[in-house]
């Protein structure tokens, strides 16, 4: 609000938003490639003007560092060099802002002058959100949900993020005012709900309730397994955004309502890409994919998980789905 009102960041005459989800940005090799114009001549002219001013008055906003492929996180990549200043000595007067989940941005900390952590929901905020979401006259339901959260510290901690709090309330309502006790149970219920909604809206299947994926009709189950494989491959390659061609599905509706479309105006014109509805949905589906593999393949995947930051986010879901019950799994 301060910025919009003209009381903050007025030293910048040019703000360049660089979406690190955009595959076109992943191919950037020079400053001009980061300028969002269709015309290559215009991009080159703007880049030349920025260099002549040594970056004065320019702010680059690199959005979603955590969603960029791991190859861009390498110290030899153009974007890493640009962000950390290795290749921007010609722009000593520009400013760079980066947004990211903190768990993925550790390598950048040495190059930051300021680090800002966005505040999350407090316990009071969570109660207020629940009150508004369930309705002010739903005291019994509100107390029931708060008691369920109190009994599950894992879910309580999730609610510090507004999107997760919304998922908790949604699942609570969809399960007739009951709540799973674990994060795995929460996202299992969410995915079941999304699949059921898709079938009711897009297919002729008369399924009214879904508690286990094995109950899905044969054609839907096959599509679901394909989507889970896409989720797993995306995690392995640190990809959160997909081109339609890379999804290997006949039509976006084949994602069964588990993915969403993004339309962006990039340096190269409009583009359409797809992502899962929530990071944790992709991680849950990837874990389910592993759990359906042979014991040998599961062991191999778990070993990868233990030494890979992106895959390690999948391990809690995998443990929840399998229970790590057998000695060989342990």
Average pLDDT over every residue of 275-293:
92
The string of DSSP letters for 81-119 reads: HHHHTTT-TT-TT-EEEE---GGG-GGGGGG-S------
Band (pLDDT 50/70/90 cuts) for residue 23 is confident
Tokens found for residue 68: 């960029």
Name the average pLDDT for the chain.
84
Task: Kindly tell me if the per-residue pLDDT of 127 is higher than 90.
Answer: yes
Higher pLDDT: 283 or 241? It is: 283
List, in sequence order, every residue forming a beta bridge with 270; answer none if it has no partner: 265
Asked if the model's pLDDT at residue 67 lies above 70, the reply is yes
Residue 46, φ and ψ in degrees, nearest 5: -65, -45
Say how far apart CA 73 and CA 148 lie, in whole Å: 40
Q: In the predicted model, what is the mean pLDDT of residues 47-73?
A: 87
pLDDT at 152: 93
Give the Cα separation of 330 and 327 in Å (integer): 5
Q: What is the pLDDT of residues 183-194, one digit of tens each?
A: 999 999 999 999
Name the band, by pLDDT with cuts 50, 70 and 90, for residue 135: confident
d(CA 152, CA 169): 14
Contact 163, 278 (CB under 8 A): yes
pLDDT at residue number 45 = 94
Single pTM value for the model: 0.74
The H-assigned helical ranges of the chain are 23-26, 40-52, 78-84, 123-134, 139-150, 153-158, 162-174, 183-202, 218-236, 244-247, 279-291, 295-306, 309-312, 315-322
Say what the pLDDT of residue 315 is. 87
Residue 326, pLDDT score: 45
At 147 the pLDDT is 94
For residue 47, what are the CA distances in angstroms to 13, 30, 154, 234? 14, 9, 48, 33
Above 60 in pLDDT, residue 251? no
**Each residue of 103-120: pLDDT tens digit?**
677 777 777 777 777 767
């Amino acid at each position: 609000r301060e910025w919009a009102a003209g009381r903050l960041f007025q030293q910048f005459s040019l703000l360049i938003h660089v979406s690190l989800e955009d595959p076109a940005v992943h191919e950037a090799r020079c400053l001009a490639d980061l300028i969002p114009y269709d015309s290559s001549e215009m991009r080159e002219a703007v880049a030349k003007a920025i260099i002549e001013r040594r970056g004065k008055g320019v702010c680059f906003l690199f959005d979603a560092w955590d969603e960029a492929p791991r190859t861009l996180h390498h110290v030899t990549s153009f974007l890493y060099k640009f962000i950390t200043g290795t290749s921007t000595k010609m722009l000593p007067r520009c400013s760079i802002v980066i947004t990211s989940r903190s768990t993925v941005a550790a390598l950048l900390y040495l190059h930051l002058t300021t680090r800002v952590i966005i505040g999350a929901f407090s316990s009071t905020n969570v109660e207020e959100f629940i009150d508004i979401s369930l309705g002010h006259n739903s005291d019994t339901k509100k107390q029931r949900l708060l008691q369920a959260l109190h009994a599950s510290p894992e879910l309580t901690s999730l609610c510090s993020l507004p999107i997760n709090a919304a998922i908790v309330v949604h699942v609570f309502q969809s399960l007739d005012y009951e709540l799973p006790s674990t994060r795995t149970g929460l996202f299992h219920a969410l995915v079941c709900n999304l699949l059921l909604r898709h079938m009711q809206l897009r297919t002729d299947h008369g399924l009214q309730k879904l508690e286990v994926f094995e109950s899905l009709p044969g054609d839907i189950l096959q599509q679901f397994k394909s989507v889970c494989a896409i989720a797993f491959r995306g995690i392995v390659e640190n990809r959160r955004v997909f081109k339609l061609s890379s999804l290997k599905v006949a039509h976006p509706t084949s994602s069964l309502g588990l993915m969403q479309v993004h339309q962006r105006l990039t340096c190269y014109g409009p583009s359409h890409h797809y992502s899962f509805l929530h990071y944790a949905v992709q991680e849950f589906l990837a874990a389910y994919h592993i759990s359906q593999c042979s014991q040998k393949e599961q062991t191999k995947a778990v070993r990868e998980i233990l030494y890979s930051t992106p895959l390690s986010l999948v391990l809690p879901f995998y443990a929840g789905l399998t229970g790590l019950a057998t000695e060989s799994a342990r």
